[in-house]
Amino acid sequence: MKWGVALLDPAAQPAIKAISEKANPNIDPLFAERPLPFGDGINIRDSSKVIVLMTDGKHEGRPFMNADKRRGPTPVYQELTSGDDNLFIYYEDDDNFLDIDNNVRVNSPGSYQITGEEEECTWYQYRRNWYKKCEMVPTYTYVEADMDDENSIRQLTWPELFVLKTESWIDNYGPLYYEPTSGLDFGITPTTQDNNLFASCDAAKKEKILIFTIGFEVEDAYLDVMRDCASTENHFFDVDGTNISAAFAAIASQINRLRLTQ
């Protein structure tokens, strides 16, 4: 609903105009002067505005990122020389890092590099006899990255970290969630979402925007949400299944009658 109201708000006109004037515009230049100014919905023919909102009226809540986790540096560093996404979490109190992949604390981010090879032997049994099999395998040494070399290590911002890891990964990764950071997100409750919807509906009504709402297979508990958002009770349609076509036809008829009376 809020995006529908925003796209009818004249405050969006400069952005629409700028997009329509591009070399290969995504918006037809015919609409460069839209949205038109708000009218009273009756006397200014060219500025009648209508929103048709169709939903089940049910809000189930959603996560919302804390402001301090939307931008700025994280305590996560990425080691760059190995070619892998080696990530390390810095612990300020201990002045060391957690190597996430190996789940060990290290003094500095780095990577395991091949520095030689050694013979590795195993024994196996075939029938009643035991045999020894040896082969040369690489040996690895942990090499610390140069913290002053931007080509070796970099501190990730929150947007960069979300590109590599999902919100769910960050939220559930204990060392990152609890220390040194605080909670990552908080929930937007269904009640808050209902109130936000009503605020958008009230703002639209204040500017004489005509609101039709279609409650498609709405549970009884959410009928009032859809009914209260509509301009009047007569602008609310409670439909199921194929009845939706009749609802849209009735809305189109009302809009046409409105145009004829202006």
Query: What is the residue-wise DSSP string for 238-253?
Result: EE-TTHHHHHHHHHHH
Residue 178: predicted pLDDT: 44
pTM of the model: 0.57
* DSSP run (H or E) holding 177: helix 174-178
Q: Could you give the CA distance from residue 222 to residue 218 in angstroms, rounded to a whole number?
A: 6
Residue 136: predicted pLDDT: 95
**Rounded average pLDDT per 10-residue block, the chain, 262 residues:** 91 90 84 81 63 88 71 88 80 87 88 90 92 94 87 89 75 52 61 91 93 90 90 92 88 80 54
Task: Report CA dihedral (237, 241, 244, 246) to the nearest 10 degrees.
Answer: -100
Is 38 in a helix, a strand, or coil? coil
- Exposure string over 7-44, b if 16+ CB within 10 A, otherwise e: ebbeeebeebeeebeeeeeebeeeeeebbeebbebeee
Q: Are strands 210-216 and 236-239 parallel, antiparallel or unpaired?
A: parallel
Residue 182: predicted pLDDT: 45
Q: Could you give the CA distance from residue 164 to residue 87 in angstroms, rounded to a whole number?
A: 10
Which amino acid appears at position 19 of this protein?
I
CB 164 within 8 A of CB 138: no
CA geometry: angle at 60 spanning 55 and 65, to 5°? Answer: 115
Residue 183: predicted pLDDT: 45
